[in-house]
Amino acid sequence: MALEQDAALTVVGEAGDIVELLSAAESLTPDVVVLEGRSQIAHVQELSGIGTAVVVVADAEIATRWMRCTQADVRALVHCDDPEEELVEAVRRASDGTGYVSTGLSGALLTVMRATLPRHLSAVPTHTPLTSRESEVLQLVRRGMANKEIARRLGLSEKTIKFHVSNVLAKAHVASRAQLIASAAAM
């Protein structure tokens, strides 16, 4: 109901289970899908295939599992006990590509980051040197910026940024942004 009351957002559908959700998402192609945290992570990667950002509503334990998931395009996490305004803000941020972690989950996010990232970040392991533009894009990816946000900052198209990110992933021999950040941190 909170999403329907926001004039900037349009709710295009609802689903009772993950199968119904995937079918609805494919036919309606929403910008953002809001999931209850216990949804099956394995199936959610299919949403990324149709270009849908994911907002997950969960408790800290389940949200921690989602934070570690690199297969789904999870752009926002909201604690299930947070006020409705946090969910609305999360959907807005996921839609514009900036991402969001609610107040109720910020501590859990810091715990995950401390457990997975060493104290310093260094160069990405690669045998092929990065171009200056690829290095610039890498630094912004490391900061957690989405392609749309990087494109705006650098004055380039989102398609060009996707191209550069793809090149960096290939040169670093990794399959995802999360692996890229982790491999950069491991050096």
Q: Tell me: the pLDDT tens digits for 52-72?
A: 777 878 887 777 777 766 555
Binning pLDDT at 50, 70 and 90, where does residue 45 land? low
* pLDDT score, position 118: 55
Residues 129-149, mean pLDDT to the nearest whole number:
88
Helices (H) and strands (E) in the chain, counts: 10, 4
Domain ranges of the chain: 2-116, 132-186
Q: Which stretch, 71-75, 92-96, 114-118, has highest mean pLDDT?
A: 92-96
Residue 131 has pLDDT above 70, yes or no: yes
Domain 132-186: state its class.
Answer: mainly alpha
Residue 43 has pLDDT above 70, yes or no: no
Binning pLDDT at 50, 70 and 90, where does residue 174 land? confident
Picking from 45, 55, 59, the residue whose alpha carbon sits closest to that of residue 91 is 55
Q: Are both 2-116 and 132-186 of the same fold? A: no
CATH architecture of 2-116: 3-Layer(aba) Sandwich (3.40)
Residue 50 has pLDDT above 80, yes or no: no
Residue spans of alpha helices (H) in 29-72: 41-49, 60-67
* pLDDT score, position 41: 65
Give the tokens for residue 73.
């395009």
Sheet holding 32-36, edge to edge: 32-36, 53-58, 74-79, 100-101
DSSP 6: -
Residue 103 has pLDDT above 50, yes or no: yes
CA dihedral 159, 32, 110, 124 (to 10 degrees): -20
Contact between residue 125 and residue 183 where contact means Cβ atoms under 8 Å apart:
yes
Q: Give me the chain's average pLDDT, please.
A: 79
Give the tokens for residue 41.
């992570």
Residues 114-140, mean pLDDT to the nearest whole number:
72
- What is the pTM assigned to this prediction? 0.57
| Residue linked to tokens 């993950």 | 18
Residues 79-84, mean pLDDT to the nearest whole number:
89
